[in-house]
Structure 1
Amino acid sequence: MALREIRMFEDDILRKVSKPVTEVNDHIREILDDMAETMYHTPGGGGLAACQIGILRRLLVADMGEGLLKLVNPVITEKKGEQLVTEGCLSFPGIWGKLKRPEIVIVHAFNEYGEEIEIKARGELAKCLCHE
């Protein structure tokens, strides 16, 4: 595992659309591991998308205190309720905003082994998955 550089502020890659992952393999697992290590070593890190380390692939890691999630090609398939949240971003340190997010989301994705999974997230984790 390695720490990756987090892209900041005006980096163009942060505004580009990430492409789906076509095969979950050792290279993808290595990227997910690096993303997790980078997130855990960055103050305030609860989630990280691959574009934030310069990789335009639909990958994310998140840990809001319930354990590490490593997601490949995540898609929010359902949203319920509403919550007012304060949220920041590792790519925009020191900037916080208040906004509305769903209280509950259902996410379909693949795990790091290429297995289909469904996650029902509430509260902070729902906020994080929407953000990433």
Structure 2
Amino acid sequence: MSYQIRLMGDPVLRQTAASIEDIDGRIAKMVEDMVPAMYQAEGIGLAAPQVGIQKRLFVYDIGEGPETLVNPEIVDSDGEWSFHEGCLSVPGLSFEIIRPKEVHLVGRDLDGNEVSIEADELLARLFQHELDHLDGVLLLDHLERDDRKAALRQWRDIQSSRHQDFTTRADIALP
């Protein structure tokens, strides 16, 4: 199956994902299909809700091969780090976001084994970003009110431009 990444405005992105009770073949197949979608979009992380699946898992790859975390949660965090952050569900936009610099995350791997990871900087940011998706939180939710309004205007302009480009291409293709 080929997954389409859901874009901001899709209600599925605002829902809280359900815990996974059994890590079975269906979950493994879902992950197997999510990884190529992440790579195709040139992302380093992809949460299940971003492909329309309300389950608490995400895949990621920061250059060491794809990994999966099931039912992840952050149990501790420390420090503060401001960094530019983008999102596959809000393509074309990125923002300076302040997040904890270090996190301790626990969850399970695809074999059901408990996983405990101490992460900092990029990996910590990735974990926090993907966990946000599992909780129905989008990147823009981290912005101040005026910045969020400006970002929404930018998003509408980008979407309008994409629609216009599609319409123009469709018009050209017509006999």
- How far apart are residue 37 of structure 1 and its match? 1.3
Deviations 1:93-128 (A, max 9, x none): 011111111111111000011111101111101000
1:114 aligns with 2:112: yes
Q: Secondary structure at the match of 2:17?
A: coil
Q: Which runs of 4+ in 1 moved over 6 A?
A: none
User: Which residue does 1:70 correspond to in 2?
Assistant: 68
* Bigger helix fraction: 2
User: Which residue does 1:34 correspond to in 2?
Assistant: 33
**Equivalent-residue separation in structure 1 for 2:126 and 2:24 (angstroms):** 25
Query: What TM-score, normalized to structure 2?
Result: 0.72
* Bigger strand fraction: 1
Q: Secondary structure at the match of 2:127?
A: helix
Cα RMSD for the two superposed structures: 1.0
- How far apart are residue 63 of structure 1 and its match? 1.2
Q: Which runs of 5+ in 2 are unaligned?
A: 131-175
1:23 aligns with 2:36: no
The percent of aligned pairs where both chains have the same amino acid is 38
Q: Which has the larger radius of gyration?
A: 2
1:81 aligns with 2:79: yes
Q: Which runs of 5+ in 1 are unaligned?
A: none
**Equivalent-residue separation in structure 2 for 1:77 and 1:20 (angstroms):** 16
Aligned length: 130
